[in-house]
Amino acid sequence: MTPGGGSGPMKDCEYSQISTHSSSSPMESPHKKKKSAPKRKWEVFPGRNKFFCNGRIMMARQTGVFYLTLVLILVTSGLFFAFDCPYLSEKITPAIPAIGGILFFFVMGTLLRTSFSDPGVLPRATPDEAADLERQIDIANGSSSGGYRPPPRTKEVIINGQTVKLKYCFTCKIFRPPRASHCSLCDNCVERFDHHCPWVGNCVGKRNYRFFYMFILSLSFLTVFIFAFVITHVILRSQQTGFLNALKDSPARYPFTETNSVVCFFSVWSIVGLSGFHTYLISSNQTTNEDIKGSWSNKRGKENYNPYSYGNIFTNCCAALCGPLSPSLIDRRGFIQPDTPQLAGPSNGITMYGATQSQSNMCDQDQCIQSTKFVLQAAATPLLQSEPSITSEELPLPGKTTISGPCATLTLGQPTPPSSMPNLTSDSGLTDMIPLKEEHEGHQFLTPEEAPSPPGMLPSGSPITHSHTMHVLSLASQDSLHEDSVRGLVKLSSV
């Protein structure tokens, strides 16, 4: 336990709502264990990311390959500077280590920027937004209740004359903006999603694409540079002492020269190839995702063209590399606002009005009634509806997709706008469950939707009981909806 806290460890147990052990940061500062310490938003971030330095650094969950990248670059460059540079700077010019140093510095800078920054993650929808969207989807579908399969949730938009389909993301509960995609490894929707790069330990998206590109470009220059001068070194030596002697000498005097050359040789081809590929992508203003899917290729149809391209290569390149850098939307270091709206803002001068929190306290009765209505409705009609595989193209490089597979949603009756609000706490309860459950194929989840006007039967219950009921419902939904609703009814009636 923390030494020197004002209240001892026993008192901390009373304040169970602030569970400091739930945060996943390896660098949690001890003062957070004070009973009134507000949490920062990164600590409750719903995606699968790791945060360091109190939220300043953001990476994907699997970072092993990133450390490998670091080690490879550091070791190769280190060996170059240690063993080849002294000889070369004497023999040829000291500009060689200088240029090498600059390149190395640039590579490390861009690598760290790519790995540590937010790629353009879209925050998940607030419960109000999600409810509003669901309502609009219901209206658009004609509010047909009963055993119909609703059409897949897509919206069509015309961008520069080209029809683009916007897909609904079930994890984030939003319609994805054009060019955004959901990364299954990080469990986030990312704007202008390019790909998830394990070498960099992060997704590559709108905000860090230019860093990624500069990284691979400078890395290709660096590897070519090192490779060329290692070869030069060997050649110069062999001119002195003969080729075979040079090779014999080099392990003794200049160890790892061959290793260095070998590593560089393979890296050169792959990295240079990758740089070339991304140069092509930038000049045509496509993402890796789009290119692999062939979204804008002529093979799909004569009328198919890329609506985002500016028309000429130069403008495309400038826009991608020198365009404005949009800010991070997830506000990692901001504090989570409690119920009282605090206008003395968190970081970035963003003010939170906190309205969503306050109304959940006011609407306990309504929420209780809503849950009852939901269960009754569920029991009344067989409402299991399965979506066709919604997002089949989640990610090009890693194989897994979490949102594939039949996914059942429960939609009910007529929408009533104000009563959508009380579903806040129950919604958020389910939302927490959903990302975990989507690992399994053929999962189902329940969305407590608005229901028709209540018979007004139940007295007010505590919200906690009802959120527990909802949890029970969602847990049991693996079997069948009908069984659930009956079970739920039993639970509710026992309250």
Partner 1 sequence: PPPQVHSLQELRRSASLATKVFVQRDYSDGTTCQFQTKFPPELESRIERQLFEETVKTLNSFYAEAEKIGGSSYLEGCLACATAYFIFLCMETHYEKVLKKISKYIQEQNEKIYAPRGLLLTDPLERGMRVIEISIYEDRCSSGSSSSGSSSSSSGGGGGGAGGR
The answer to whether 118 and 207 have CB atoms below 8 angstroms apart is yes
* Closer residue to partner 1, CB minimum distance, 232 or 365: 365
Question: Which window, 14-22, 75-83, 348-356, 401-409, contacts partner 1 (CB under 8 A)?
Answer: 348-356
Element holding 377 (H helix, E strand): helix 364-380
Question: Which window, 68-76, 175-183, 237-245, 387-395, contacts partner 1 (CB under 8 A)?
Answer: 175-183
- Say whether residue 166 binds partner 1 (CB under 8 A): yes
Distance in Å, CB of 11 to partner 1, minimum: 32
What percent helix, strand, coil does the chain show, rounded to 5? 50, 10, 40
CA distance 458 to 16: 30
Q: Which residues contact 76 (CB under 8 A, 6 or more apart)?
A: 223, 226, 260, 263, 264, 267
Cα–Cα distance list, 371 to 16, 177, 419 (Å) = 26, 32, 11
Residue 228: alpha-carbon gap to chain centroid? 39
Burial of 157 (0-12, 13-18, 19+ CB in 10 A): middle
Q: Is 197 known to be catalytic?
A: yes
Question: Which window, 12-20, 291-299, 342-350, 389-397, contacts partner 1 (CB under 8 A)?
Answer: 342-350
Distance in Å, CB of 380 to partner 1, minimum: 19
**Cα 317–318–320 angle (5° rounding)?**
65
Distance in Å, CB of 149 to partner 1, minimum: 25
Of 426-455, binders to partner 1 (CB under 8 A) are 453-454
Of 461-490, binders to partner 1 (CB under 8 A) are none
Instruction: Report the DSSP pairing between strands 174-175 and 49-52.
Output: unpaired
Distance in Å, CB of 136 to partner 1, minimum: 9
- Say whether residue 174 binds partner 1 (CB under 8 A): yes
Q: Of 334, 339, 328, which Cα lies nearest the Cα of 350? A: 334
- Backbone angle region of 306, left / alpha / beta, with phi > 0 → left and psi within -120 to 50 → alpha: beta
* Closer residue to partner 1, CB minimum distance, 263 or 369: 369
Token readout for 54 is: 């109190």
- Say whether residue 32 binds partner 1 (CB under 8 A): no
- Say whether residue 363 binds partner 1 (CB under 8 A): yes
* Closer residue to partner 1, CB minimum distance, 238 or 358: 358
Beta strands in 75-150 (DSSP E): 121-122
* Closer residue to partner 1, CB minimum distance, 53 or 318: 318
SS3 labels along 403-471: CCCCEEECCCCCCCHHHHHHHHHHHHHHHHHHHHHCCCCCCECCCCCCCCCCCCCCCCCCHHHHHHHHH
Token readout for 346 is: 């968190």
Which of 362, 380, 397, 464 is the binder for partner 1 (CB under 8 A)?
A: 362
Distance in Å, CB of 330 to partner 1, minimum: 8
Q: At residue 454, what is the residue type?
A: P
Distance in Å, CB of 126 to partner 1, minimum: 7
Size of the site for partner 1 (CB under 8 A): 67
Distance in Å, CB of 137 to partner 1, minimum: 13
Question: Which window, 14-22, 235-243, 265-273, 312-320, contacts partner 1 (CB under 8 A)?
Answer: 312-320
Q: Of 334, 382, 340, 339, which Cα lies nearest the Cα of 486? A: 382
Distance in Å, CB of 40 to partner 1, minimum: 15
Q: Which residues pair with 351 in a beta bridge?
A: none
CA distance 477 to 408: 10
Of 286-305, binders to partner 1 (CB under 8 A) are none
Distance in Å, CB of 323 to partner 1, minimum: 5
Of 55-94, binders to partner 1 (CB under 8 A) are none
Number of Cβ within a 10 Å radius of residue 148: 12
* Closer residue to partner 1, CB minimum distance, 187 or 366: 366
Which of 74, 92, 228, 318 is the binder for partner 1 (CB under 8 A)?
A: 318
Cα–Cα distance list, 271 to 160, 220, 274, 302 (Å) = 34, 6, 5, 34
SS3 assignment, position 381: coil
Q: Which of 85, 197, 264, 368 is catalytic?
A: 197
Of 106-145, binders to partner 1 (CB under 8 A) are 106, 109-110, 113, 122-123, 125-126, 128-129, 132-133
- Say whether residue 352 binds partner 1 (CB under 8 A): yes
Which of 42, 83, 211, 254 is the binder for partner 1 (CB under 8 A)?
A: 211
Helices (H) and strands (E) in the chain, counts: 16, 12
Which of 23, 89, 304, 359 is the binder for partner 1 (CB under 8 A)?
A: 359
Question: Which window, 172-180, 231-239, 376-384, 487-495, contacts partner 1 (CB under 8 A)?
Answer: 172-180
Q: Catalytic residue positions?
A: 197
Footprint on this chain of partner 1 (rule: CB under 8 A): 105-106, 109-110, 113, 122-123, 125-126, 128-129, 132-133, 157-160, 164, 166, 174, 177-179, 191-192, 210-211, 214, 307-308, 315, 318-319, 321-327, 329-331, 341, 343, 349-353, 355, 358-359, 362-363, 365-366, 369-370, 416-419, 421-422, 453-454
